[in-house]
């Protein structure tokens, strides 16, 4: 084997090794992202040159004297947390074992503790008495039998009352208790066996009733010219079960299939409103369908679907996410450490500005003034450097 061939093979192996090492580093960042993206810059003063040309880094500290709001101070531990005043109090009197006849009570020693009273299911019978009208008083407008109408129900002819339905929905979405666990809890704690299809039907009925509120929430979030959006993968169980073809049921039913879906979230930073929308895909068509007539600035992570969405929506401007931009420089540290760390120093400076604004409880107007004076020159310097 010639020397040229060995050199070529050696070069190819080195390139493969570098590629594999880069892929390994990316995988480690995905697993340990929160820790690996921390940046402790070197103390070399020349790294601040980028910002000194556009903004005085030390000047940010001067804002501490310009802001009139007092900085939030860490409070000392106040001691035992007081018990909530709205909770009912049940007094238990414990008399001394000794005979207290002839003694005068001069006070009380009170010890307070919180006990848990387990929730109770109850059957509410709505009784509607029926009355027979005297024949002489009967007419077309006055029927022979008089009975009150059925009170309005959340689910017509359903056995679940409003409080039970609310408990099930809150347990699922606030306490993250899936239906099969709730079914087990009802059976264990209350001796009531609910079939899973029943609780699923209840849930579907509640969702239908909440659709008008969801529409109002969505409209209020989209009523802005500045919107933030993102999407996350979600593994979804297919509805229903595959029943065995063999009627003898000697073979158990197959496991339910799953598919990959996406939970989209959109936030209105101005009012703090948020709404979620599940979709089976993450293409630009989802944005067209969900955002409707939105016009303004849309901030995202730069995923290609947003770019495709903008091509058909000239009135929408795409705004990048600073955290995702910074992550690109974190990834670049493995190949261009000095250059990447110079950029990371810029982000550290920008984050310090935001931290000062947060620590001093700056108003939106104060934040704007500080950002224009200190952050904007740094952004422009970073953009010119890139």
Query: Hey, where are the domains in the chain?
Result: 155-222, 224-238+256-320, 322-386
Comparing 47-61, 173-187, 297-311, 359-373, which segment has the lowest mean pLDDT?
Answer: 47-61
pLDDT score for 129: 94
Q: Average pLDDT of the chain?
A: 84
Q: Which letter does DSSP use for residue 372 in this model?
A: I
- Going by pLDDT thresholds of 50, 70 and 90, the confidence category of residue 11 is confident
Q: Does pLDDT of 337 surpass 90?
A: no
- Going by pLDDT thresholds of 50, 70 and 90, the confidence category of residue 73 is low
Residue found by looking up tokens 């070069």 in the block: 11
pLDDT score for 45: 45
Q: Which letter does DSSP use for residue 230 in this model?
A: E
Residue found by looking up tokens 């982000």 in the block: 347
Comparing 177-181, 198-202, 272-276, 334-338, which segment has the lowest mean pLDDT?
Answer: 334-338
Query: CA-CA distances (angstroms) from residue 51 to 25, 32, 142, 322, 336?
Result: 30, 30, 88, 17, 20
Q: Which CATH number fits domain 224-238+256-320: 3.40.50.970, 3.40.50.1220, 3.40.50.1820, 3.30.420.10?
A: 3.30.420.10
Express each pLDDT in 37-61 by its tens digit. Answer: 556 665 444 444 545 444 554 555 5
Strands 226-237 and 296-300: parallel
Q: How is residue 371 written in tokens? A: 């950002």
Q: How is residue 20 written in tokens? A: 């594999």
Rounded to two decimals, the pTM is 0.68
Round to whole Å and give the CA distance between 317 and 161: 47
Round to whole Å and give the CA distance between 255 and 236: 13
């Amino acid at each position: 084997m010639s020397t040229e061939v060995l050199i070529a093979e050696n070069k190819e192996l080195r390139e493969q090794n570098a590629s594999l090492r880069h892929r390994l580093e990316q995988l480690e960042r995905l697993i340990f992202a929160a820790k690996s993206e921390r940046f402790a810059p070197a103390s070399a003063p020349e790294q601040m040159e980028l910002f000194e040309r556009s903004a005085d880094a030390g000047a940010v500290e001067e804002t501490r004297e310009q802001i009139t709001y007092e900085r939030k101070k860490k409070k000392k531990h106040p001691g035992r947390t007081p018990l909530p005043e709205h909770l009912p109090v049940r007094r238990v009197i414990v008399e001394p074992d000794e005979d207290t006849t002839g003694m005068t009570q001069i006070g009380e020693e009170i010890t307070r503790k919180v006990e848990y009273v387990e929730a109770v299911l109850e059957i509410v019978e709505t009784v509607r008495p029926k009355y027979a009208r005297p024949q002489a008083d009967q007419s077309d407008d006055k029927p022979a039998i008089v009975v009150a109408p059925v009170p309005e129900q959340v689910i017509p002819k359903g056995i679940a009352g409003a409080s039970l339905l609310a408990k099930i929905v809150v347990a699922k979405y606030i306490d993250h208790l899936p239906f099969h666990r709730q079914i087990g809890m009802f059976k264990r704690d209350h001796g009531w066996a609910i079939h899973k299809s029943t609780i699923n039907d209840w849930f579907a009925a509640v969702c239908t009733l909440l659709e008008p509120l969801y529409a109002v929430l969505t409209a209020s979030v989209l009523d802005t010219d500045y919107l933030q959006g993102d999407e996350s993968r979600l593994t979804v169980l297919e509805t229903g079960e595959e029943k065995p073809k063999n009627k003898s049921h000697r073979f158990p039913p197959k496991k339910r299939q799953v598919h990959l879906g996406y939970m989209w979230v959109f936030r209105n930073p101005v009012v703090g409103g948020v709404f979620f929308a599940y979709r089976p895909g993450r293409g630009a068509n989802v944005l067209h369908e969900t955002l409707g007539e939105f016009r303004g600035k849309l901030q995202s992570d730069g995923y290609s679907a947003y770019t495709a969405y903008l091509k058909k929506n000239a009135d929408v401007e795409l705004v990048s996410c600073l955290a995702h931009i910074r992550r690109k420089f974190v990834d670049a540290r493995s190949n261009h450490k000095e250059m990447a760390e110079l950029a990371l120093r810029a982000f550290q400076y920008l984050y310090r500005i935001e931290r000062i604004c947060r620590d001093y409880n700056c108003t939106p107007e104060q934040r704007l003034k500080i950002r224009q004076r200190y952050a904007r020159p740094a952004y422009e310097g970073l953009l010119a450097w890139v």
